[in-house]
Each structure stands twice: as structure tokens, then as C-alpha cells.
Chain A
């Protein structure tokens, strides 16, 4: 046996020499080893689906020469018989930071300091976070310790890169061999380009501050690269040059969540790039959208540990979605596989590669097919990297990267013996080591003892018992020698028995024992076969126990739908109907909704297919429209520039926000999600309907026109915090900012229309849309001077402001607003929160309305939007508005301001069936929304709500029991926590 080792060692040395054949040699003769190494009688997985039961693997010079059932073995072969063992191609990790140090954040936390708006580099792209020119190979330093850990987890090759910045430059494909140097290790020095949604830690450049800014930045970057490629740039930009050079490479995008997977894929689609996406492990929650991306995924398998729920006070903050995540996430790989989505697995986001095996076994237990798992670690990553001919299989000509195991590689009990990388052998567990695990009995003097050895071969556990007494014991097993110590039965004396034994050909152990008194005697332990030892039983029980996976809902948390609700024909009988039309309020009236539209309004209506709802004593209204909302969005402000017209809230809709449901419970059906007020020119809006359960895309009201948020006053001047570096700092500056942008946009548009070549600029395109009356402005505004100013600016460019939102001093310039033709969307009674709202009065809506301005009342708050009906009612108190007109402040008027009043905002035949059934008068503080219906689909129903509450309680209780069971089994837990889901408003960053 040792001889074989020696030969092998020589073999190994010779490999490195061959690899550097063009190098001069001064320390001996230049010799070449042309021997072969052959593994025989192995079960060989040439690929996950091509398995040879009694196969031979022939390797030479770090490559597979042949693999198969009948391989001709050359005479100069070193033959290793590994009968009973298996050979697998070693694993590939496509997403790694191996050997590349992550930069540290520069200059401390930056908390409380003025933001940096400019780039810190010259000759590169204008944004520091775009670094396609960076190459991982320049900073790579092979890390032996990590390599060893990865090899132990079964990996032979990793694709690594510098995990910093939005565009991160190229990565490298590295073989994890300690020997041979980088010349052998680096398989590809430009193996792909990496991107992410996170900014570089090395730069403090503020832009982008949000995901939507990042997405917009990427789009502009691709346009700029195209423009640069045409030779249109006067200056040299090394970033754009590099980006164009990297175009041909595989593009790997760290998205990190189901929502971001879809977001980045959209950007890719726009520019003909199909990213390979690093997911978040939560893809199962929206699998059809994930499938629709057509992307391949890199999946992390950092499945959450159970929460430590013993303390019921602490566990009371746990939310159903987080609890389900623990329960459902391990089934993510299976779900992707079931849906035919191609994916690979990564160690990324695991604390240590050591956790890889157990998590992978968990995924398999949760239904992931073993062949698919193996493919996800071998052939698929090889194929995605365009390296199928060299890695990921044991076909002839591939690198000799393989694993030798005792059996099925995904089985808990299987031992990984060796991990060969490019023909270099790495021993994980000695193949010659004898498995001594089992149960034994032995006698010392007249006392008999039971010894049980279990655990993994490199980490054995022992128990020594005498009768029912468990004795403290410790065992080490090195190079065929067993060293066992255990305590004597007498627990008062700290006496030990010390045993040494060398393994032999029998199953029994023999050697000597040193007694506590120093005397030595012989030791003999007889192996006994215990039928189903306790350990085995436990294992078996664990294995057999079917995992219970809680059903998904849409969204996958509290109050989600098990199945998306369907459009129905509904007949409301005998309601008080607030039409918002010239018919006014109709008593004892029937309303039929059909095919998502309002079909009939009248008396004694009937429809044989309709679900009839007795609405006697109840009121039916059109759904509430909130002109100014910030719910259901993953980001609100892109604060990195004073104009961010290039960003759009449509990129960041969050359909899982519980506020959608809560707003439905307040009778809201349509909202405009506005960008915040961080800058004079904000981002584009998303106008959505609150179709709870639907995907982000399906929430969008596709008939709505285009909008953008502008803002004036203290927020855009950055008055209320320590920031003095961004223009503008005064209202005077705000005007000039608009003049500047619109002047440039007009010039840009003229050039664009002239047909001459121009540099596409998303921001300018959007501003040109405003000038061309294709996009409306909703402007955050407070004091009369600035309101007046913006109307004048617009008039100079021959367009109108559509809406002033907040508009708290609108009452001071209502006549001018009327003349300009702008609407006002205001708060009912907010004031005193900033200096600029000192003159805000609750009579504002009434005065504007009376002056002929189209007036709405909005929320800017996920709390207030739940009771906009009451906010409208305040106009009756403050200013004596009629109830009918006041109701329009939150329905028809905001619909007019959003130009969606052709479809929503009133109960009129032909309009969308977006209606609310109220328990009483819709503006009474005592009334509740009982049903909220959008396009004929009931998204909120007070009876279903009551059932959901019970179901949530029951499911949480069941999950708690499951977690307790996990803990009792000895599995690790994590402390209770609650994710941050802040309520957003205009100021949210």
C-alpha cells in the first residue's frame, strides 16, 4: 500500500514539471513522467446520467484519458483498485469570492456626513460603482485554507470574482489544487462578467441610493456603451471600453431575491442580455414569474434554522411569512426543478462550505431529485460557463477533477475519501481506514462494559456504559490506533481507564488497558450486532419522517390567497348607490357587475348566473383612489441626484406588502405610487390597482397614462438636515434647476427629432415627454410662491402641471391654479410638521374646490389611506362641502387627476367594476368596508378576513410545534427576529 503512495507522490511531482515544460531547469535533470493512473472496479458517474457500474477511470497529465466499462489499461499504469467505491465528477461553484479579498468600507460609516455626489475616478464611467474594467485575476491570491474547506465539501472548481460594486468586471475559473501554482489552477482568466444591485464599498458616491436607481443606471450604462462603441464619445472611458469587451462573456447577476430576479431580468431583456441570476432561495413563492425570465439560476441553499420559540413572549413577534420561510425554503430547488428551470447550486451565503452537505441533504429530503442535484453541481455549471468539454464530467479529455466516495454522495453516511483536482490527489479521509463504528462489550476485572462508537469517521463519538451507568469517555482514532479513555464507575474519584488498541483484520478490538492504579492488563472488546441501535432508529425515524410543507399562498404570508380569486358576476340588491354621476345617490338600487365591468344599474335587476348579495341598508360606492401613496414599493426615493427622471417606481412594485390588503380593507382600489420628495425632479410613478395576490406586473394599471413626481420646498432644498453640498439649497435655485433641465430636454428632443445621431439619455427622454405633453407631473408643493413659480416655468415650455400634490397653500393661489388648469390633491388636516406648513389649513380642499379646482384628498401614508373615506368626510366639517362632493374628493376627482376616470371613479355602466360595499354611510366614522371588488374580483371580504385570522393562528401554532420539535431533536436554532417593514412616505430613503 505504501508503495502505491510513493509512486503516486512521484507522479504528482512530475505533473507540475510537465505543466511548465517551457521553463528552464537548474536543480536537476529535466525528466518527464508519462505513466497513467487507473482506478478500477468503481461505480463511475461519467455524467449524472451516464453511470458505469464496474468501471475504469484512466487519467494522465491531469486529464481523463478514458472512462468506461472496458478501458484498455496501458502497461505503464499505476492501478488503484477501489472496488465498492464510487467516482463522481467534482463539484463546481459558479458564485464564489474565493481567493479575493472584499474591500472594506472607505472612511468609516459616513453616517451624518454630507453625501458625495460626484465620482472619485477619472477616465472611467461617471459612476464609481460601475467597474467593468476590473479583473479578478489582478487581485487573485490562492487561499489554501478555503480551498481545503471547499474540497472537503466536494468542490473542485470555483468561479470567483471581486464581490463589490454594481458592475464588477470579470471573474476567473479556478481549480482548487494547492499544487501546480496559478499556472495550473486558473482554467479561465476571464470566465464571465459579474453584476449586482449593491454599490461598491470603496466609493462614497451617493448615486444610486435605491434599487430603482441601480436599474436605471444599468440601462443608461448599456445605452452609453452602445453609443461609445459607435465611436461617438470624444473622451476615453475605460469602463465603457471594458464593458464592450466583456459583452461576449457569460453575464452573472447577483439579484438575491425573487423580486429582484425578475427586475434584473427585465433590464437584460431590454438589451438582449440573458443574465444567469444568483437568486435568493425564495423563488418558489412566485415560480411562474421566475420561469418566465428564461434565466438559469444560481441557488444559495442557506436554509434558515428554526427559530428558538420556547419563550412565547419573544416568539409572539414572529410573522407567518418568516415562519413559513423556514418550513418551505428547503423545497426551493425542487420547485425550480419541477418547473423545468435550469439551476446550479452554490455555497454562496453559507457561513462555511461545511454547511453545504447538510443543507443539500435537506433539499433532497424536501424532494430534490439526486440526479438533478448532481447535475446542478457538475454538468449544468460547466455548460453555463461554456466549459462542458473540460469540467463537470468525466468524459475523455476533461480535467481529472473527481471525487472518490464510499457510496451515494448525497447520503448522510457516505464518506468522501478523496477529491482529485487536475490529477492532484487530495485525501479527505483515508480509504484504508477501517470503519470501527459499532457496538462492543468488554470486561475489565469482573465488571462488564458496553462500548458504542458512532458519528462520522473523522469525528467519532463514543459512549461507555456499565449497566445503566454512563461513563464519561473519549476516543481518538489515528493511523490504525485507537486511544480510548473513560471514567471509572466511582464518580467521586476522578479515575480513568486508558485503552490502546490497534485495528486488525477482525471486527473485534484488542490491546491493553491501563487501570486507575497503574497496572496494565489485556483488553479485548467483542463486537456485538444490536438490531437497530437507538442511534440507527433515530436516524431511520428522521429519514422516514415525511416533511410537512405548508401550502403556499399569494402573497406567501398572512391573508394571502391559496388560489387567486376569480372574476365573478355579482348582483347587489337594494343598495344605496353613490354613482358620482348626475344620477347622484340612488336609494334601493340594484347593481350588476359582469365580466369585470359595471353591467347594469336599476331596480329589480336579475341575472341567473350572478351571485346575489343583499345590500339592504348598505352603501355601494366606487373604490377609493389614492393619488399619493407610497405603499407596495421596495423603494421610494432615488436621492443620489437632484433629478432622477430616469427611475421608475414601476421597477420596484412590491406586491407582497400587507398594506395592499389593509388598504383594501379601507375600500381603496386604485393608487398612484409616487416617487418621494428627495429631489426637484423625482422619478416616474406607478399607477396600480390593489389586486392582492397578483404579481407586480399584474398590479400595474396598464391603461393609466404616464406620470412623474416633482417636488418643491424644504425637502428638495435639504433644509431639515445637515446637507449643504447639493444644488439647489433655495427656492431660487429650484426654479433655475427646472429651467436648466427643460432647456436641455428641449434641445435634446429637437436633436432627436432631427434624425441626427445623438446620445440616448433616459432622463432627457422622460423630460421631453413632459414637454411633449405625453407625461403628466404630480408635484409635491407647499407654499404659494413655489406653486406659482412652477406653473410659470411650465407655461414657458408650453405645457401644464397636471397636479399639485400636498398643495397645502393651494387655497392662496386657487384662482391661479384654476387659470393654469392644474388640480390639487391635498391632505385633509395635516400641518405643523415643518415650517413650510405653518399656513396649512384644513379648509384648503374646500377653498380649492369652491374656486373650481379639481380637488382630491390623498394619504401619503399607509395608515391614513385605510380611512380616506373619513378624511373626505372632514371636508364636510371644514368648509361645508356637500357629502356628494366630498365623496368625490377620494374617488372621482383623484381618478380625473390621474386621467383614469374613463374607467374608474364612479358607478356607471361600462366602467370597471371597482366597487366597495360599506356597512353604512361611506363617510361615517362608524362604517366599515365589507367587500372590496376590483374588476369583478373580490379582493377583500370581511367574512374571509375573519376566517383568515383563525387560519393564521392555527398555522402559526402548528409551525411553532414543528420548530420546538426541531429544537428537541438537537437541531440548531436562531433567535427570534422580525424583519423591518417600514411604513414609507415622501421622506423615506
Chain B
């Protein structure tokens, strides 16, 4: 009980200091320096006793305070014994597109139609989602907001998680197009009396052909005068000229191979595999084509009874060990609320033998590279955005992932949420008893 009171006291203190709550933080005006923390750079290295100076939203220095003499600037944040991390990045996410799973009215994740490259997630992104704000206390500060459904689902954009509105939130507009590669298997139509299990997809070739037709038609259209606008074809321009990436959502070995051939055949230069359950079987192919993988949610069960029980835990490591660039993604059941567990999924890979700092890359620098935002995000390096946080301890372990400060582009953001407010309210209710 004593401990409880103590914690409550700290809490009350915290809440009075950070009053901003859900209101987005203002632009950084004053410089600050984080002193003495262990800085986890995000590129595999660590700087002990670090000094991190942040000015005008950028990191201007991140050095070892014992070996480098550097003048502190602005407010000093004493962080000895604490840990600093670059903000974690959640790719392939529907955060802000669907608030309450079972309530259809709150669902803006999937449009009808099969070829929807012109459908843009960004304009539906709800910057004030209660689910989005719950990411921040766990260090997840950036997300790639991605539409679902169809064969080509649409276009994603990358946002940061402390904003007034979507224009305010966006870091990269329309970063990529998402393609759901046809499945090699289909499920039996049980409602017609077929067995529910998997069987080979007879329409696979037909579905791939429909993609080929769409891409070929798009290219032909883009070479023409384009006087009569065709919105879907128009939207394909970025993936042909290399300004956008094509995210191919595919899990099986053959599908991945076919998808890579497809991209090559149609001059699509920037390809990312999303899911990649069997990607380890084609790791050499992925590596030689410089194709990265956003690995399927670590916290899932294996696809087959025969698979290693820990296969989903270790896939990211298997791929990394073979030289593939890997990030973690979290799509699946309850994906939005669960996205805050991204750091612990990286932690789970450590349990499989990956080095902690390597595992950190899976949710920071690697993801930033894969999403094409690595010039500004993903590591604690001078010149990059000050999107980072301070944790009491190891942020990949749930017991010690306890944030004291978080910054997006140098703005100190609130770590309070709808949930922390209820916690405080009800803790106070019983305190007197």
C-alpha cells in the first residue's frame, strides 16, 4: 500500500507538470539538452553518458559526454541512468482509420473495388484518435497509415502521432502503394458446404494477369496525353518513376518470387515485401534485389502445426542473418490497439538470439529506410529530427518501458491519454479508503 501511495504521488506530480494532455505540443522554441542517458542510436550502436542537444526540432549533437567536451544548450534534462531512443515507427498500420473494431461507423480502412491506387489513407486519418494517443507512452511516435482491401488497396502516408489534423500530422504524403498479391491458396466456401480448409487457388494465374493488365494499361496511359483523366492510372505514376514504393503484401515463397519478377518486368524499382512468412526461403533473392521485408507480426501463432513454435518470433532474425533489410509490422487482429506493443515484439526477437541494438533497428532505422524517411527519422544523429523519447529503462522490455519524456520534431509531447486519465481518476477514488 505504501508503494501504491508513493506511485500515486509521483503520478499526481507528473500530471501537474505535463498539463498539455491531448493538445498537440507547440513548435520547439527553446533548445534543450538531455544529459547522461544511455543513447540507443538506432543504427546498432550505443552511446553511454550521452549528451543530446536539440534545437529547432533537430538533433544538433549526440555524443559521449565523457569523451567529448560540448556545451549544453537550453533546458537541461537530467537523464542519468535513463535511456534515450529514437521514436519507434509502426509501418503498415490502420491507426486513425478505425476507432472501435466492432462499430462499422468508425471504420474507414477499406474501400470497395479491386484496383484502388487512387484511394488515399491520409485524408481519413483521425489525428485525434484515442487509440493513436495511446501509442505515445510506449514510444511509438510515427506510423505509416495504410488502407486495406482489394488487390491494390490504395496509397499510404506517413504521419507522426501528435497533431491537430492530418495535414499537421503528415511526414511524407502518399509514400507508397499497397498491393495484396494473389494468394496461392483459397479457403473453402464453407457456407456452400465445402470444407473450410485451404486448397490451391485455381484463379491465381487469372488474378496475376488482372494485375499485369492494370499495370500495363497504367503505363500506356501515362505515356499518352492524359487529357481524359483516369484517376487509378494517374495514381500509378509514382511507382513507375520511383518516387513511390510498391508495398507488396505477400507471405508465401512462390508469391514473393512471382511478385519480384512482376515488379522487375514492369519497371517498378522500389519494392517492399510486407508479411513475408516464407521470406526466409527466398532470402538470397530478396538480398540480391535489395528488397526489404516488413515482417509479419511477431506475436502470432505459426501457420502450420508442424512449424517451429517460435517461428514467428524468429523470422526477423532469420532474414537479418541472411542480409535482408527487415522491419516489423503489426497488422492483424486488433492491430491498432496492439500497435503500442511494437517495442516488445522487437524484444521478443532478442529472445531468439538477436542483439538488442540490432532488434531496435527493426522498429527504428530499418523501418525508416524501408519507408524512405531515414534522412530525418529512425536514428539519434546530428542533423536528424528530434523525434525521440527518454525511458526509465530498457524500452524493449515491458517492465522497464516507462517513458518520462517524448519529443516529436523537438516538441515535447504529452504522455497522457484517455487511459492515464481514467487511471488517475479511479486511483484517486480509492485512495482515501
Chain A 845-863 interface 0/1 with B at a Cβ cutoff of 8 Å (1 = within):
0010011000000000011
Our count of residue pairs bridging A and B at CB distance below 8 angstroms stands at: 176
Stretch at the interface among A250-258, A792-800, A834-842: A834-842
- CB neighbours (8 Å) of B29 from chain A are none
Stretch at the interface among A167-175, A346-354, A522-530, A809-817: A809-817
Q: Roughly how many angstroms separate A983 CA and B336 CA in the complex, as a whole number?
A: 20
Q: Roughly how many angstroms separate A843 CA and B421 CA in the complex, as a whole number?
A: 11
Q: Does A958 contact B (CB under 8 A)?
A: no
Q: Does A665 contact B (CB under 8 A)?
A: yes
Residue B402 contacts which of A867, A877, A924 (CB distance < 8 angstroms)? A877
**B100 and A832 contacting across the interface, CB-CB below 8 Å:** yes
- CB neighbours (8 Å) of B199 from chain A are 975-978
Q: Does A102 contact B (CB under 8 A)?
A: no
Contact of A949 with B334 at beta-carbon distance under 8 Å, contacts A839-B422, A925-B396, A978-B185 already known:
no
**B423 and A879 contacting across the interface, CB-CB below 8 Å:** yes
Smallest beta-carbon distance B282→chain A, Å: 11
Chain B 163-190 interface 0/1 with A at a Cβ cutoff of 8 Å (1 = within):
0000000000000000000001101101
Q: Does B398 contact A (CB under 8 A)?
A: yes
- CB neighbours (8 Å) of A867 from chain B are 299, 348
- CB neighbours (8 Å) of B340 from chain A are 829
Q: Roughly how many angstroms separate A557 CA and B304 CA in the complex, as a whole number?
A: 11
User: Taking CB as reference atom, which chain B residue is nearest A983?
Assistant: B301
Q: Roughly how many angstroms separate A842 CA and B423 CA in the complex, as a whole number?
A: 9
Q: Roughly how many angstroms separate A763 CA and B6 CA in the complex, as a whole number?
A: 50
**B102 and A835 contacting across the interface, CB-CB below 8 Å:** yes
Q: Roughly how many angstroms separate A927 CA and B334 CA in the complex, as a whole number?
A: 25
Contact of A925 with B341 at beta-carbon distance under 8 Å, contacts A659-B301, A815-B433, A847-B430 already known:
no
Q: Roughly how many angstroms separate A839 CA and B417 CA in the complex, as a whole number?
A: 11
Q: Does A109 contact B (CB under 8 A)?
A: yes
- CB neighbours (8 Å) of B253 from chain A are 313, 316
Supplied contacts A843-B419, A945-B309, 15 more A-B pairs, CB within 8 Å? A314-B200, A316-B252, A661-B309, A662-B301, A831-B337, A832-B130, A835-B103, A838-B100, A839-B422, A851-B430, A851-B433, A924-B399, A926-B347, A975-B200, A980-B198
**B351 and A925 contacting across the interface, CB-CB below 8 Å:** yes
Residue B336 contacts which of A321, A832, A866 (CB distance < 8 angstroms)? A832
User: Taking CB as reference atom, which chain A residue is nearest B423?
Assistant: A843
Interface of A is mostly: loop
- CB neighbours (8 Å) of B401 from chain A are 877
- CB neighbours (8 Å) of A662 from chain B are 301-302, 309
**A814 and B430 contacting across the interface, CB-CB below 8 Å:** yes
Residue B304 contacts which of A319, A814, A815, A883 (CB distance < 8 angstroms)? A319
> Can you list 28 A-B pairs with a CB-CB distance of less than 8 A?
A109-B191, A111-B191, A313-B252, A313-B254, A314-B184, A316-B253, A320-B305, A321-B305, A557-B306, A830-B337, A833-B100, A834-B102, A834-B103, A838-B100, A843-B419, A843-B422, A863-B300, A867-B299, A876-B398, A880-B3, A923-B399, A925-B397, A926-B397, A949-B308, A952-B306, A980-B188, A980-B195, A982-B196
Residue A863 contacts which of B1, B301, B397 (CB distance < 8 angstroms)? B301
Residue B198 contacts which of A109, A317, A873, A926 (CB distance < 8 angstroms)? A317
Chain A 354-393 interface 0/1 with B at a Cβ cutoff of 8 Å (1 = within):
0000000000000000000000000000000000000000
Chain B contact patch, size range: 35 or more
**A977 and B433 contacting across the interface, CB-CB below 8 Å:** no
Chain A 571-611 interface 0/1 with B at a Cβ cutoff of 8 Å (1 = within):
00000000000000000000000000000000000000000
Chain B 323-342 interface 0/1 with A at a Cβ cutoff of 8 Å (1 = within):
00000000000101110110
- CB neighbours (8 Å) of B420 from chain A are 843
Residue B399 contacts which of A834, A851, A876, A975 (CB distance < 8 angstroms)? A876
Q: Does B350 contact A (CB under 8 A)?
A: yes
- CB neighbours (8 Å) of A926 from chain B are 347, 350-351, 397
**A883 and B399 contacting across the interface, CB-CB below 8 Å:** yes
Q: Does A261 contact B (CB under 8 A)?
A: no
Residue A319 contacts which of B131, B305, B397 (CB distance < 8 angstroms)? B305
Give me the interface of B with A, judged by CB distance under 8 Å: 1, 3-4, 7, 99-103, 130-131, 184-185, 187-188, 190-192, 195-200, 252-254, 278, 299-302, 304-306, 308-310, 334, 336-338, 340-341, 344, 347-348, 350-351, 396-402, 419-420, 422-423, 426-427, 429-430, 433
Smallest beta-carbon distance A360→chain B, Å: 26
A314, A720, A839, most chain B CB atoms within 10 A: A314
Contact of A832 with B351 at beta-carbon distance under 8 Å, contacts A814-B430, A841-B422, A870-B398 already known:
no
Q: Roughly how many angstroms separate A814 CA and B102 CA in the complex, as a whole number?
A: 27
Residue A928 contacts which of B341, B351, B433 (CB distance < 8 angstroms)? B351
- CB neighbours (8 Å) of A866 from chain B are 301, 309
User: Taking CB as reference atom, which chain A residue is nearest B253?
Assistant: A313
**A815 and B430 contacting across the interface, CB-CB below 8 Å:** yes
- CB neighbours (8 Å) of B427 from chain A are 843, 847, 850
Residue B337 contacts which of A659, A832, A877 (CB distance < 8 angstroms)? A832
Q: Roughly how many angstroms separate A420 CA and B334 CA in the complex, as a whole number?
A: 66
Smallest beta-carbon distance A390→chain B, Å: 39
8 A Cβ contacts from A276-329 to B: 313-314, 316-317, 319-321
B99, B306, B396, B427, most chain A CB atoms within 10 A: B306
Smallest beta-carbon distance A454→chain B, Å: 35
**A841 and B397 contacting across the interface, CB-CB below 8 Å:** no
**B184 and A981 contacting across the interface, CB-CB below 8 Å:** no
Chain A contact patch, size range: 35 or more
**A925 and B197 contacting across the interface, CB-CB below 8 Å:** no
User: Taking CB as reference atom, which chain A residue is nearest B424?
Assistant: A843
Q: Roughly how many angstroms separate A558 CA and B402 CA in the complex, as a whole number?
A: 40
User: Taking CB as reference atom, which chain B residue is nearest A317?
Assistant: B198
**B306 and A980 contacting across the interface, CB-CB below 8 Å:** no
- CB neighbours (8 Å) of A927 from chain B are 351
**B430 and A829 contacting across the interface, CB-CB below 8 Å:** no
**B103 and A977 contacting across the interface, CB-CB below 8 Å:** no
Residue B426 contacts which of A658, A811, A952 (CB distance < 8 angstroms)? A811
Contact of A925 with B301 at beta-carbon distance under 8 Å, contacts A952-B306, A956-B306, A975-B199 already known:
no
- CB neighbours (8 Å) of A838 from chain B are 100, 130
**A850 and B200 contacting across the interface, CB-CB below 8 Å:** no
**B398 and A847 contacting across the interface, CB-CB below 8 Å:** no
User: Taking CB as reference atom, which chain B residue is nearest A976?
Assistant: B200
- CB neighbours (8 Å) of A814 from chain B are 426, 430
B187, B299, B402, B426, most chain A CB atoms within 10 A: B426
- CB neighbours (8 Å) of B398 from chain A are 870, 873-874, 876-877, 925
Q: Does A566 contact B (CB under 8 A)?
A: no
Q: Roughly how many angstroms separate A321 CA and B344 CA in the complex, as a whole number?
A: 33
**B433 and A558 contacting across the interface, CB-CB below 8 Å:** no
Smallest beta-carbon distance B232→chain A, Å: 31
Q: Roughly how many angstroms separate A321 CA and B7 CA in the complex, as a whole number?
A: 53
- CB neighbours (8 Å) of B308 from chain A are 945, 949
Contact of A834 with B426 at beta-carbon distance under 8 Å, contacts A658-B305, A843-B419, A979-B197 already known:
no
Chain A 920-951 interface 0/1 with B at a Cβ cutoff of 8 Å (1 = within):
00011111100000000000000001000100
Smallest beta-carbon distance A763→chain B, Å: 29
- CB neighbours (8 Å) of B100 from chain A are 832-835, 838
The 3 closest A-B CB pairs, nearest first, are A925-B347, A980-B196, A833-B101
User: Taking CB as reference atom, which chain B residue is nearest A656?
Assistant: B305
**B185 and A882 contacting across the interface, CB-CB below 8 Å:** no
- CB neighbours (8 Å) of A978 from chain B are 185, 197-199, 304
Contact of A925 with B348 at beta-carbon distance under 8 Å, contacts A829-B341, A835-B100 already known:
yes
Q: Roughly how many angstroms separate A209 CA and B348 CA in the complex, as a whole number?
A: 39
Q: Does A418 contact B (CB under 8 A)?
A: no
Q: Does A133 contact B (CB under 8 A)?
A: no
- CB neighbours (8 Å) of A265 from chain B are none
- CB neighbours (8 Å) of B190 from chain A are 980
**B310 and A833 contacting across the interface, CB-CB below 8 Å:** no
B197, B398, B401, most chain A CB atoms within 10 A: B398
Q: Does A714 contact B (CB under 8 A)?
A: yes
Q: Roughly how many angstroms separate A945 CA and B336 CA in the complex, as a whole number?
A: 34
- CB neighbours (8 Å) of A320 from chain B are 305-306
